[in-house]
């Protein structure tokens, strides 16, 4: 039995500072808190209180990362992250942003901070704090804004530097291969049901300026699936809203489930640790929403020409020059002496590569969210709306959140809205000149001109990080897209008008890869010698389903790696931009093979040659690892999932803090997403599932792995793991009779 001193109080009465009136919080048997409050302010206080109690360690780590203080909390292994985040200045920008917030936004953020601080005051402290001898200081609204900036930043800036390194070394064709292509007939988000009809890459003309220094490692882009079905295509006659975000697997998880009720609104769904919500997924009593990452490109990287004249470095600008701004950042390191970092900035932003005191050219990164954002002005309009038109107005006020939102109301209407502030400029996929004024921004893309859709004839809107809209859309939004999951979902969701919530788990569990299906057909068509005919036949009979017990699935994965090693990996030989074993390598292989491109082929070799050699090598490798009995080969033996805690890296703490490993089907291109570096446990994928039926929003089907609590001694730390693995769900109740019938504890907070 858990030591009660490590668990927070969920029964009785507790006096806390910061409340306006008593608040009642009921925890259900799935570990979800339900808060009854007398005002919106106290609802956000209750959210902060529950977050502080159950996710205190997690939000403290996120806060330290956003402000560039993670090495002080943990160790020098996080120093590089601190250096980056200090340079990019999320905390500095957040402090300026707080001064520019509306009264409603201030109320939300301050009440949330007050709730966290009440939780800190009453304890108990997270077990991690005891192990690290750490004491948590009061929370500030600026902390929440800094975390939101960090979460929203993406890594387009570092990707563009990496693009330039590849282009300078290998040329434009190599850079073209790095950028996700959209095949003809690829699914579009808006207009819903339409297809991409331009086989040529959308941003071919954007590859103009190719000179740059070697780049930094490209980061992964998060993804998701979501779809909304109107009432004409459901058995109930009401819409359904379905979604599953794909993020890094972690304990505690990257979502926290909460239900809040006050006179102004009733809202339920997953909340991001560190700032109020639910923002991305959720519902009130009349509408429901889901989203995928739109991956809006809010960064440009500038080449700055530096001159030094004895008074410090300056950057060339038009016919003159401008002095660089200099600041010193002292970064504390746990158990070691602090280090001082000098950050230089130009009119475009901080220097991210090079030293202006010694280099004649440096790179700076300009972030479209550095100026104050006003995301929380959209929250109350969404929470209180009873139709998708009012809700859309709220979504359009989101600045930081680059999202493809799908939503529906009980009147039967469905809609889609692209959200997030995106600079208005031409697509620039590599660093551009910063001295001539040729690449400055022209404000932002107007919010009311961002892509949107309303009640399409098809009755279904699908988004899965795929291409947003048609080639004639007038603004550049992003060079990132992933067509494969969306195309598979389009296959699955066609041709029915009687969908029910009971059908949705089958869609969310789908493990068929369009990539793998294509590869199986391509291998079957290859002209090979007889030595590999049995392996060729194994794939030729396969439907591309990456089930745990699939022998062809295991062969497919190894074959792809053997082919990548002979083509993509040896061609690029640049782990700074194409990470070995990553989904990028797999995507490039498939696109090159589909196009029958010779770009990455060894000289004098054909794709059939590569397939034959790789198939033979794959058979040998798999026999060595898994035995010669091919009937016993299982994809799950090479593909597992794992959840890791920051303190779980210590072998003595691993059993207490970590969760997994578990065999898992699917990969990064299947709707049931689980991905990572090949031959390592998948550490990224479906982080939450929801099925919202607008005919009855009480008891919506959800699952959150591994559990809702962040306290490792809690029964709810990993109680949803088996449900997630087995495609099971539990209900998210908002009606109090059901909540009370399943209650595990009830706590009343009173003003101190």
CATH of the domain at 352: 2.30.120.10
Are 268 and 734 in contact by the 8 Å Cβ rule? The answer is yes
Query: Would residue 230 count as lying in a domain?
Result: no
Mind listing the pLDDT tens digit for each residue in 440-470? 999 999 999 999 999 999 999 999 988 888 8
Q: Which token pair is 238?
A: 């009401």
CA 472 from centroid of its chain's CA atoms: 28
635 CB-near residues (< 8 Å, 6+ apart)? 546, 547, 548, 549, 550, 551, 553, 554, 557, 665
Q: Which runs of E-coded beta strand occur in 77-229?
A: 223-229
Residue 626 backbone dihedrals phi, psi, to 5 degrees: -125, 5
Cis peptide preceding 34, ω within 30 of 0: no
90, 98 Cβ separation under 8 angstroms: no
Residue among 130, 56, 650, 91 nearest 331 (CA): 91
Interacting residues of 247 by C-beta distance below 8 A, sequence separation 6+: 222, 254, 684, 687
Contact residues for 278 (Cβ-Cβ < 8 A; gap 6+): 258, 267, 268, 269, 270, 271
Which of 352, 367, 382 marks a domain boundary?
Answer: 367
Written as six digits, the tokens of 409 are: 């109301």
Range of the domain at 559: 517-567+602-637
Q: Which two tokens stand for residue 544?
A: 């591309």
Percentage of the residues of the chain whose pLDDT score is greater than 70: 93
Mean pLDDT rounded to a whole number for the chain: 91
Give 613's Cβ-side CA count (13 Å radius). Answer: 15
State which of 310, 344, 367 marks the end of a domain.
367
pLDDT digits (tens, 9 = 90+) for 286-342: 999 999 999 999 999 999 999 998 889 999 999 999 999 999 999 999 999 999 999
Q: What is the pLDDT of residue 207?
A: 30
Whether residue 717 is predicted with pLDDT greater than 90 in this model: the reply is yes
Residue 191 pLDDT: 58
Say what the pLDDT of residue 643 is: 92
What pLDDT is attached to residue 195?
41
Asked if residue 399 belongs to a domain, the reply is no
Phi-psi region of 738 (alpha: psi -120 to 50; beta: other; left: phi over 0): alpha
413 inside domain? no
Predicted confidence (pLDDT) at residue 77 exceeds the cutoff of 80: yes
Question: Is 346 among the domain residues?
Answer: yes
Band of pLDDT at residue 131, cut at 50, 70 and 90:
very high
Structurally, how many domains does the chain consist of?
Answer: 2
pLDDT band at residue 206 using 50, 70 and 90 as cut-offs: very low
How many CB atoms are located within 10 Å of the residue 651 CB? 7
Query: Above 80 in pLDDT, residue 180?
Result: no
Asked which of 367, 395, 412 is the last residue of a domain, the reply is 367
User: Which secondary-structure segment (H or E) carries 173?
Assistant: helix 172-178
Has residue 562 been placed in a domain? yes
The model's confidence at residue 360, banded by pLDDT at 50, 70 and 90, is very high
* Residue 587 located in a structural domain: no
In a domain, 253, yes or no: no
Evaluate if residue 698 carries a pLDDT over 90.
yes
Q: What gap in Å lies between CA 647 and CA 331, rounded to an integer?
A: 21
Count of CB atoms within 10 A of residue 289's CB?
30
Instruction: Give CA–CA dist 489/508, Å, rounded.
Output: 9
Measure the CA dihedral 486/491/496/497, to 10°.
10
Residue 339 in any domain: the answer is: yes
């Amino acid at each position: 039995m858990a030591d009660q001193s490590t668990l927070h109080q969920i029964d009785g009465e507790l006096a806390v500072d910061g409340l306006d009136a008593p608040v009642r919080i009921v925890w259900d048997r799935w570990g979800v808190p339900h808060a009854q409050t007398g005002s919106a302010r106290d609802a956000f206080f209750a959210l902060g209180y529950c977050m502080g109690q159950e996710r205190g360690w997690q939000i403290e780590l996120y806060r330290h990362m956003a402000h560039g203080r993670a090495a002080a909390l943990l160790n020098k292994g996080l120093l590089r992250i601190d250096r980056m985040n200090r340079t990019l200045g999320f905390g500095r920008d957040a402090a300026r942003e707080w001064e520019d917030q509306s009264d409603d936004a201030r109320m939300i953020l301050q009440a949330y901070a007050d709730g966290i601080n009440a939780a800190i005051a009453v304890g108990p402290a997270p077990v991690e704090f005891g192990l690290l001898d750490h004491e948590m200081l009061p929370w500030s609204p600026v902390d929440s804004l800094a975390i939101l900036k960090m979460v929203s930043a993406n890594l387009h800036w570092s990707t563009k530097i990496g693009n330039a390194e590849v282009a300078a070394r290998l040329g434009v064709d190599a850079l073209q291969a790095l950028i996700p292509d959209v095949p003809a007939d690829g699914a579009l988000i808006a207009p819903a049901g339409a297809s991409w009809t331009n086989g040529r890459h959308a941003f071919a003309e954007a590859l103009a300026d190719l000179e740059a220094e070697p780049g930094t490692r490209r980061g992964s882009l998060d993804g998701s699936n979501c779809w909304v079905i109107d009432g004409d295509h459901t058995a109930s006659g009401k819409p359904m809203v379905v979604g599953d975000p794909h993020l890094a697997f972690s304990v505690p998880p990257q979502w926290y489930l909460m239900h809040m009720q006050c006179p102004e609104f009733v809202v339920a769904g997953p909340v991001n640790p560190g700032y109020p919500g639910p923002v991305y997924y959720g519902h009130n009593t009349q509408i429901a929403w889901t989203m995928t990452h739109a991956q809006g490109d809010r960064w440009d990287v500038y080449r700055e020409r530096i001159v030094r004249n004895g008074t410090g470095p300056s950057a060339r600008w038009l016919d003159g020059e401008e002095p660089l701004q200099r600041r010193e950042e002292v970064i504390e390191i746990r158990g070691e002496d602090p280090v001082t970092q000098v950050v230089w900035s130009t009119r475009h932003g901080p220097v991210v590569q090079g030293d202006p005191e010694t280099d004649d050219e440096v790179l700076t990164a300009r972030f479209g969210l550095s100026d104050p954002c006003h995301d929380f002005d959209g929250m109350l309009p969404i929470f209180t709306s009873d139709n998708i038109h009012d809700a859309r107005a709220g979504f359009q006020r989101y600045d930081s959140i680059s999202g493809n939102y799908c939503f529906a109301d009980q009147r039967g209407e469905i809609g889609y809205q692209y959200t997030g502030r995106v600079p208005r400029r031409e697509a620039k996929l590599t660093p551009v000149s910063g001295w001539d004024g040729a690449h400055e921004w022209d404000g932002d893309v107007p919010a009311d001109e961002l892509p949107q859709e309303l009640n399409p004839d098809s009755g279904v809107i699908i988004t899965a990080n795929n291409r947003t809209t048609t080639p004639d859309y007038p603004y550049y939004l992003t060079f990132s897209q992933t067509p494969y999951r969306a195309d598979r979902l389009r296959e699955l969701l066609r041709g029915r008008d009687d969908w029910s919530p009971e059908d949705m788990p089958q869609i969310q569990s789908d493990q068929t890869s369009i990539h793998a299906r294509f590869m199986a057909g391509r291998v079957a068509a290859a002209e090979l010698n007889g030595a590999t005919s049995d392996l060729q036949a194994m794939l030729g009979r396969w439907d591309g389903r990456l089930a745990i017990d699939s022998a062809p699935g295991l062969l497919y994965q190894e074959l792809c790696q053997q082919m990548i090693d002979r083509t993509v990996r040896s061609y690029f030989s640049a782990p700074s931009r194409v990470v070995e074993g990553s989904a990028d390598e797999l995507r490039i292989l498939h696109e090159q093979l589909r196009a029958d491109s010779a770009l990455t082929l060894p000289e004098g070799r054909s794709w059939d040659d590569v397939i034959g050699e790789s198939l033979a090598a794959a058979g040998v490798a798999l026999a060595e690892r898994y035995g010669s009995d091919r009937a016993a080969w299982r994809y799950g033996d090479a593909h597992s999932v794992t959840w890791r805690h920051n303190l779980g890296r210590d072998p003595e703490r691993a059993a207490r803090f970590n969760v997994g490993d578990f065999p898992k089907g699917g990969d990064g291109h299947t709707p049931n997403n689980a991905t990572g570096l090949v031959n390592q446990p998948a550490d990224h994928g479906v982080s939450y599932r929801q099925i919202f039926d607008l005919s009855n929003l009480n008891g919506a089907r959800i699952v959150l792995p591994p559990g809702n609590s962040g306290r490792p001694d809690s029964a709810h730390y990993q109680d949803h793991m088996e449900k997630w693995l087995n495609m099971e769900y539990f209900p998210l109740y908002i009606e109090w009779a059901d909540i009370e019938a399943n209650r595990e504890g009830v706590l009343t907070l009173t003003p101190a």
